[in-house]
Amino acid sequence: MRILVGLGTCGVAAGAGATYAALLARTGPPNSSCKVGKTGCVGMCYREPLVEVREDDGTRWQYGQMTPDRVDRLLEEHLGKGEPIEEWLVWTSEGKGQEKAFLDRQQRIVLRNCGLIDPEKIEEYLAVGGYQALKRVLDRKDPDGLISLIIESGLRGRGGAGFLTGMKWRFTRLAAGKQKYVICNADEGDPGAFMDRSVLESDPHSVLEGMAIAGHAIGSTQGYIYVRAEYPMAVERLNIAVAQAEAHGLLGDDIFGTGFEFHVELKEGAGAFVCGEETALIASIEGRRGMPRVRPPFPAVKGLWECPTNINNVETFANVPWIVLNGAQAFNRLGTANSKGTKVFAMAGKIRRGGLVEVPMGISIREIVNDVCGGIKEDRKFKAVQMGGPSGGCIPAELENTVIDYESINKTGAIMGSGGLVVLDETTCMVDVARFFLDFTQRESCGKCTFCRVGTKRMLEILVRITEGKGTEGDIERLENLASLVRNNSLCGLGQTAPNPVLTTLKYFRAEYEAHISNRKCPAHHCQALLTYSVNEKCNGCQVCKRACTAKAITGEKGKPHVIDHSLCTRCDECYRACRFEAITRM
Amino acid sequence: MDAPRPYDFKNLHYKGEGGVLIPLLQKYQTEDGYISRERIAEIHRQTGVPLSQIFGVATFYAQFRRHPVGRNIIKVCHGTACHVANAAGISRALEDQLRIGAGETTQDREFTLETVACLGCCSLAPVIMINKDTHGNLKPTDLRKVLRLYREKKAAGA
């Protein structure tokens, strides 16, 4: 029997390290019958830290919110007496537990090993069939057949644009050049997206294997992983994985004794969102500022160091070994006419169950939000989902039956993007959401194209003005005009898609913009400058708001109604959040 | 100025001929906490990359700091999930208590306050990271307690 602690970044942030230490301390020497081990992220971020009890026959019991103080009871009851603790159980392999619904609708291909294996031990990856796909393609020695298989599977790039992966490989294979490169784009810069990080932290070998298979397909001997420096754990585990794969002869000069040579090197990004764009990423690896250039020539023809280069995203590579082993049909059976397989989403925002989910393409937004993620927190009203990060857009609740596939999402004005899905409720101001993303793209614009550099700044100024209650007639039209200019006159995806958050919110929530400008009101009660706080007659003088007020703007004796001094109030909303009697009015 | 340090390219496995600049800057930032003028000159001597290009790269990427930092680095997440969970309030409260703005360091060099795009623990929003510890599900009023923890740590260490 083994006890496994989910030690991904989100688990550690929730305190899994302390739980792991407590378990180690109490289970005695490592040769006792019960071993404590590490595993990656299961995806149930909302119940971290997670601890799994796995019996020798493979039966799994997953416990949630396992803080160190729960360790003793777990050891005593489940391991000692063999009585699982029902009230902490979130999921069991026998289909029980409170969070069964979260996993029921999921179909795990990319995340197949996440939470199952120890990411720091290659033996565990090998035990679940790891590197068998690489062995198979190397035995067959048929790169063209392999590329046809990937094309047939219908796998499209999971980085956002959705280009057919097999076609990309074919272009790179056909390109003239002695040295070719494979690059894994792990520069996951979208705020609110963390699926690539989870895959790298929980199952790094599947990405390495995918890269080596791509290397065989296009005829390359060198791969690079461009990973964000902000993901220290992913970097650490990738380094371990590369070293282990090399030691096992699964990467290096003569893989499986077939004479195939493939090396992988890590390149740490330095914090620039634009480096997710392929030509900017290449510039960054070459040691220059990450600025995109005109395409064509595409990297498949002229990429890193002017050589043909194939760039795919982490999730795309993680799909590859599975497709090789299970066949193209098993993959394209899932999904819709033009979008095959599954998609991983990082679910965040105002939902009950936030975390990582992998669902088949073709599922509707409503099913993800309600069935998988348990609906909106505190029973508030579902307002919109933000998809695709700063390049994406907001899809309103009326369109909740939109299915997840590249074309349907594009029709709404949003994009599939890399997979960040932030759920918004009625308390979110859509103008503010647009302002938030413009603020991001404006800061991250590399400055090469004038319209992106200056245009986004002007758009942001207008949005700030509107949220501060200083909007004027004509601002909406100015925004629309600027948006089309920025979109049409930028070189790369950053500028071309930067207006999307503004355009989609204008399309679906125009009335909110108008309320800000004409009535000087924020319908969601979010924009601070448009709010006034006051104490109403429900106040019983409990002093909670007085203590919560960081500006010391609230006065009043205990037991008597309090008063807010408007000249001191910073409208930080703390009193409103703190009050248990609805005695603070926000207008 | 000191003589150039011997620099072992092979040991640090910087293979690509032109690709050494960013890894070098990262190495020096890890050692010094920031990229000083002297370091930029040093890289120029070691690699022959023009000063203007080194300066260009060092100022382009968000990771590189051009000023010394405090003992504790506070990163306030302003990702989408944190934003809708009142990250602005967290930033404001920290700025009030430390009496510095984002990107600045307190006079006693104890704390540096930074704003980051996303720490990737969206389900714990709003989140801050102090050095390597993550603090999640915060309210602006919790911060006094969190900061005290680090001030006490220093007192205990001294």
Q: Find the CATH number of the domain harbouring B19.
A: 1.10.10.1590
β A181-186/A222-227 pair status: parallel
The Cα–Cα gap between B16 and A271 comes to 20
Q: Which residues contact B132 (CB under 8 A, 6 or more apart)?
A: none
Contacts 24+ apart (CB under 8 A), B146-152: B147/B94, B147/B97, B147/B98, B147/B111, B150/B72, B150/B110, B150/B111, B151/B110
β A2-6/A35-39 pair status: parallel
The Cα–Cα gap between A530 and A519 comes to 10
DSSP per-residue codes, A11-48: HHHTTHHHHHHHHHHHS-STTSSSEEEEE---S-GGG-
The verdict on B131 touching A (C-beta cutoff 8 Å) is no
Do A287 and B22 lie within an 8 Å CB cutoff?
yes
Residue among B64, B78, B4 at smallest CA distance from B34: B64
The Cα–Cα gap between B113 and B133 comes to 15
The verdict on B46 touching A (C-beta cutoff 8 Å) is no
Minimal-distance CA residue of chain B relative to A549: B141
Residues written for chain A: 587
pLDDT of residue B1: 40
Count of domains for chain B:
2
Do B22 and A268 lie within an 8 Å CB cutoff?
yes
Phi-psi region of A335 (alpha: psi -120 to 50; beta: other; left: phi over 0): left
State whether B25 and B97 are in the same domain. Answer: no
- The verdict on residue B1 lying in a domain is no
Q: Find the CATH number of the domain harbouring B117.
A: 3.40.30.10
The Cα–Cα gap between B148 and A243 comes to 41
- Chain B residues with beta carbon closer than 8 angstroms to that of A385: none
Residues written for chain B: 158
Q: What are phi and psi of A243, to 5 degrees?
A: -60, -45
Of the three residues B53, B68, B83, the one that is the final residue of a domain is B68
The pTM of the full predicted model, rounded to 2 decimals, is 0.89
Measured in whole angstroms, how far is the alpha carbon of residue A565 from the centre of its chain? Answer: 42
Mean pLDDT confidence for A133-148: 96
Q: Distance, in angstroms, between B80 CA and closest chain A CA?
A: 5
- Chain B residues with beta carbon closer than 8 angstroms to that of A444: 117
Instruction: Assess contact for A338 and A406: CB atoms under 8 A.
Output: yes
Do B120 and A436 lie within an 8 Å CB cutoff?
no
Do B122 and A348 lie within an 8 Å CB cutoff?
yes
- The verdict on residue B54 lying in a domain is yes
- The verdict on residue B2 lying in a domain is no
- Chain B residues with beta carbon closer than 8 angstroms to that of A553: none
- Check whether A33 has a pLDDT greater than 80: no
Q: What is the mean pLDDT of chain A?
A: 91
The verdict on A17 touching B (C-beta cutoff 8 Å) is no
State whether B98 and B117 are in the same domain. Answer: yes
The verdict on A271 touching B (C-beta cutoff 8 Å) is yes
Q: Distance, in angstroms, between A189 CA and closest chain B CA?
A: 8
Phi-psi region of A542 (alpha: psi -120 to 50; beta: other; left: phi over 0): alpha
The verdict on B86 touching A (C-beta cutoff 8 Å) is yes
- The verdict on residue B124 lying in a domain is yes
- B-interface mutation test, from A286, A378, A394, most B Cβ less than 10 A away: A286
- The verdict on residue B146 lying in a domain is yes
Structure tokens at A557: 């004796």
Instruction: Assess contact for A326 and A332: CB atoms under 8 A.
Output: no
- Check whether A514 has a pLDDT greater than 80: yes
- Check whether B74 has a pLDDT greater than 70: yes
- The verdict on residue B30 lying in a domain is yes
DSSP class of residue A585 equals E
The Cα–Cα gap between A64 and A55 comes to 18
- Check whether A387 has a pLDDT greater than 60: yes
State whether B109 and B94 are in the same domain. Answer: yes
Instruction: Assess contact for A242 and A223: CB atoms under 8 A.
Output: no
- Check whether B2 has a pLDDT greater than 50: no
The Cα–Cα gap between A229 and A455 comes to 29
Mean pLDDT confidence for A388-394: 90
The verdict on A10 touching B (C-beta cutoff 8 Å) is yes
The verdict on B89 touching A (C-beta cutoff 8 Å) is yes
Q: Distance, in angstroms, between A332 CA and closest chain B CA?
A: 31
State whether B38 and B79 are in the same domain. Answer: no
The verdict on A285 touching B (C-beta cutoff 8 Å) is yes
State whether B130 and B142 are in the same domain. Answer: yes
Share of chain A above pLDDT 90, in %: 65
Measured in whole angstroms, how far is the alpha carbon of residue A93 from the centre of its chain? Answer: 26
CB neighbour burial string for A522-555, b if at least 16 within 10 angstroms, e if fewer: bbbbbbbebbebebeeebebbebbbebbbbebbe
Of the three residues B19, B47, B68, the one that is the final residue of a domain is B68
The Cα–Cα gap between A225 and A316 comes to 13
ipTM of the complex: 0.83
State whether B22 and B63 are in the same domain. Answer: yes
The verdict on A230 touching B (C-beta cutoff 8 Å) is yes
Do B117 and A193 lie within an 8 Å CB cutoff?
no
What tens digit of pLDDT does each residue of B94-153 get?
998 999 999 899 999 999 999 988 887 787 889 998 987 888 889 888 899 999 989 887
Interface contacts (A, B; CB < 8 Å): 150
The Cα–Cα gap between A388 and A137 comes to 34
The verdict on A193 touching B (C-beta cutoff 8 Å) is yes
Do B62 and A10 lie within an 8 Å CB cutoff?
no
- Check whether A314 has a pLDDT greater than 60: yes
The verdict on A557 touching B (C-beta cutoff 8 Å) is no
Instruction: Assess contact for A356 and A347: CB atoms under 8 A.
Output: yes
The verdict on B150 touching A (C-beta cutoff 8 Å) is no
Instruction: Assess contact for B129 and B121: CB atoms under 8 A.
Output: no
- Check whether A185 has a pLDDT greater than 90: yes
Share of chain B above pLDDT 70, in %: 87
State whether B152 and B88 are in the same domain. Answer: yes
- Check whether B156 has a pLDDT greater than 80: no
Mean pLDDT confidence for A389-402: 93
- Of the listed ranges A30-34, A124-128, A142-146, A457-461, the least confidently predicted one is A30-34
Q: What are phi and psi of B36, to 5 degrees?
A: -90, 165
CA angle A281/A284/A286 to nearest 5° reads: 115
- Chain B residues with beta carbon closer than 8 angstroms to that of A9: 120-121
Measured in whole angstroms, how far is the alpha carbon of residue B149 from the centre of its chain? Answer: 20
State whether B98 and B128 are in the same domain. Answer: yes
What's the N-to-C CA distance of chain A in angstroms?
58
Instruction: Assess contact for A359 and A345: CB atoms under 8 A.
Output: yes
- The verdict on residue B133 lying in a domain is yes
- Chain B residues with beta carbon closer than 8 angstroms to that of A548: 141
Of the three residues B33, B48, B68, the one that is the final residue of a domain is B68
Instruction: Assess contact for B95 and A206: CB atoms under 8 A.
Output: no
- A-interface mutation test, from B63, B80, B94, most A Cβ less than 10 A away: B80
The verdict on A194 touching B (C-beta cutoff 8 Å) is yes
- The verdict on residue B104 lying in a domain is yes
Give the confidence band of A28 by pLDDT, cuts at 50, 70, 90.
low
- Among the partner-chain residues A287, A433, A570, the one whose CB lies closest to the CB of B19 is A287
Minimal-distance CA residue of chain B relative to A272: B61
Give the confidence band of A32 by pLDDT, cuts at 50, 70, 90.
low
Give the confidence band of A166 by pLDDT, cuts at 50, 70, 90.
very high
Contacts 24+ apart (CB under 8 A), B97-100: B97/B143, B97/B144, B97/B147, B98/B147
pLDDT of residue B11: 39
- Chain A residues with beta carbon closer than 8 angstroms to that of B95: none
| Residue ranges of domains in chain A, CATH in brackets | 2-104 (3.40.30.10), 122-331 (3.40.50.11540), 342-425 (3.10.20.600), 430-519 (1.20.1440.230), 531-586 (3.30.70.20)
- Chain A residues with beta carbon closer than 8 angstroms to that of B99: none
State whether B36 and B96 are in the same domain. Answer: no
The verdict on B76 touching A (C-beta cutoff 8 Å) is no
pLDDT of residue B45: 87
- Check whether B16 has a pLDDT greater than 60: no
- Chain A residues with beta carbon closer than 8 angstroms to that of B79: 191-192
State whether B22 and B40 are in the same domain. Answer: yes
| A65: exposed, middle or buried (Cβ count in 10 Å: 0-12, 13-18, 19+) | middle
Residue A90 DSSP SS3: strand
State whether B79 and B55 are in the same domain. Answer: no
- Check whether A329 has a pLDDT greater than 60: yes
Domain that holds residue B16: 8-68
Do B124 and A289 lie within an 8 Å CB cutoff?
no
Helices (H), A203-252: 204-218, 232-247
pLDDT of residue B18: 63
What tens digit of pLDDT does each residue of A519-539 get?
999 999 888 888 888 899 899
What tens digit of pLDDT does each residue of A42-99 get?
888 888 899 999 988 888 999 999 999 998 898 888 888 888 898 899 988 888 888 8
- Chain B residues with beta carbon closer than 8 angstroms to that of A273: 117
Q: Which residues contact A566 (CB under 8 A, 6 or more apart)?
A: A532, A533, A553
The Cα–Cα gap between A514 and A469 comes to 11
Do A354 and B119 lie within an 8 Å CB cutoff?
no
The Cα–Cα gap between B20 and B29 comes to 14
Do B18 and A287 lie within an 8 Å CB cutoff?
yes
Q: Give the orientation angle of helix B21-32 with respect to helix B51-60, to 10 degrees.
A: 70
Give the confidence band of A161 by pLDDT, cuts at 50, 70, 90.
confident
Give the confidence band of B13 by pLDDT, cuts at 50, 70, 90.
very low
State whether B135 and B79 are in the same domain. Answer: yes
Measured in whole angstroms, how far is the alpha carbon of residue B51 from the centre of its chain? Answer: 23
Instruction: Assess contact for A509 and A426: CB atoms under 8 A.
Output: no
Give the confidence band of A275 by pLDDT, cuts at 50, 70, 90.
very high
- Among the partner-chain residues B19, B63, B120, the one whose CB lies closest to the CB of A9 is B120
Give the confidence band of A30 by pLDDT, cuts at 50, 70, 90.
low
- Check whether A474 has a pLDDT greater than 90: yes
Separation in Å, CA B114 to CA A227, A355, A378, B53, B100 = 21, 26, 32, 26, 10
The Cα–Cα gap between A55 and B82 comes to 38
DSSP class of residue A529 equals G
Q: Which helix (H) or strand (E) holds A342?
A: strand A342-349
Interface of B with A in 12-41 (CB under 8 A): 13, 15-16, 18-23, 25-26
- Among the partner-chain residues A230, A272, A570, the one whose CB lies closest to the CB of B60 is A272
- Chain A residues with beta carbon closer than 8 angstroms to that of B49: 287
Mean pLDDT confidence for A308-333: 96
What tens digit of pLDDT does each residue of A536-559 get?
989 998 999 998 888 889 999 888
The verdict on B115 touching A (C-beta cutoff 8 Å) is no
Mean pLDDT confidence for A270-288: 92
Do A289 and B120 lie within an 8 Å CB cutoff?
no
- Among the partner-chain residues A14, A189, A572, the one whose CB lies closest to the CB of B92 is A572
For the beta carbon of residue A521, count every other beta carbon within 10 angstroms. 16
